Amino acid sequence: MNPALGWALAALFAALAWQQYGWQGLIFAITAIVFWLLLQFNRALRVMKNASHAPVGRIDSAVVLHAKLKPGMTLLQVLTLTKSLGRKVSVDPERFEWADTSGASVVVTMTRGHCTDWELRRVAPAPLDQPS
């Protein structure tokens, strides 16, 4: 969700609560908004804690990650999929890489905190020796 839209909805909720129920409604609205913010913060911490237990840039399958990625996903959603922090490849644009044990990797490009592009890179199979 767009942060500006979220804060606008929170302000509208607080204004309506104050209009309908006075200061008690305003206190209730502020309590509900703070609770929602705590839920979001707790979710982010849980995802980061889970990702901290895995090696940086390692995933089970690059092909599965490539299939599950969608445009507009946030970095937090990508971390939920990978269960690992990505290895930073570049700063501008921001790119993160995850690789699996076969050598295949996925490079995800993030723009303003959202996934805009991703690329699956596979290693070329070794050529078979030809008998002479």
pLDDT in tens, 16-27: 999 999 999 999
CA distance 28 to 17: 8
Looking at 3.10.20.740, 3.30.1450.10, 3.30.1050.10, 3.30.1380.10, the CATH number of the domain 54-121 comes to 3.30.1450.10
Is 86 in contact with 52 (CB distance < 8 Å)?
A: no
* Residue 98: strand pairing partners: 106
Per-residue pLDDT at 2 exceeds 80: no
Q: Hey, where are the domains in the chain?
A: 1-53, 54-121
Q: What mean pLDDT do residues 110-130 have?
A: 85
pTM of the model: 0.77
Confidence tier at 28 by pLDDT (50, 70, 90): very high
Enumerate residues 6+ apart whose C-beta is below 8 A from 88.
Answer: 94, 95, 96, 97
